[in-house]
Amino acid sequence: RKEVEQDPGPFNVPEGATVAFNCTYSNSASQSFFWYRQDCRKEPKLLMSVYSSGNEDGRFTAQLNRASQYISLLIRDSKLSDSATYLCVVTRPSGSARQLTFGSGTQLTVLP
């Protein structure tokens, strides 16, 4: 079983739609959680951190359920520019450092 699992998609949605992505992680020692965005043939960039209390940044809402080891990202009123691959990222202790594990990503295409 992969340490971080995501539905690869692709998700094809019309502009203005609401879309949700899910991510599960297997290591209960995981400490921090993030969503990164990767545009085609570009490097990943941090989208937002994910907190236990849930957090919102404009049209984006991230939720964490530690008991279920589950993370979600909700995008409301989707725009064409939201088309990208969304990567779920989990960190855990690794010796004196932190190990980041990336999911394989969920591909989103917003259609006009």
Partner 1 sequence: GAGVSQSPSNKVTEKGKDVELRCDPISGHTALYWYRQRLGQGLEFLIYFQGNSAPDKSGLPSDRFSAERTGESVSTLTIQRTQQEDSAVYLCASSSASGGETQYFGPGTRLLVL
Residues at the contact surface with partner 1, assessed by CB under 8 A? 32, 34, 42-46, 49, 87, 89, 91, 94-105
CB of 84 to partner 1, least distance (A): 14
The residues near 20 (Cβ < 8 Å, ≥ 6 apart) are: 72, 73, 74, 75
Hey, what are 46's tokens?
């941090």
CB of 15 to partner 1, least distance (A): 25
| Residue nearer to partner 1 on the CB measure, 79 or 98 | 98
| Residue nearer to partner 1 on the CB measure, 49 or 72 | 49
Given a contact cutoff of 8 angstroms between Cβ atoms, the answer to whether 83 and 19 are in contact is no
Tell which residue, 7, 22, 11, has the closest CA to residue 70. 22
CB of 5 to partner 1, least distance (A): 10
CB of 97 to partner 1, least distance (A): 5
| Residue nearer to partner 1 on the CB measure, 49 or 76 | 49
Given a contact cutoff of 8 angstroms between Cβ atoms, the answer to whether 36 and 44 are in contact is yes
Residue 31 exposure: Cα atoms within 13 Å on the Cβ side: 8
| Residue nearer to partner 1 on the CB measure, 89 or 110 | 89
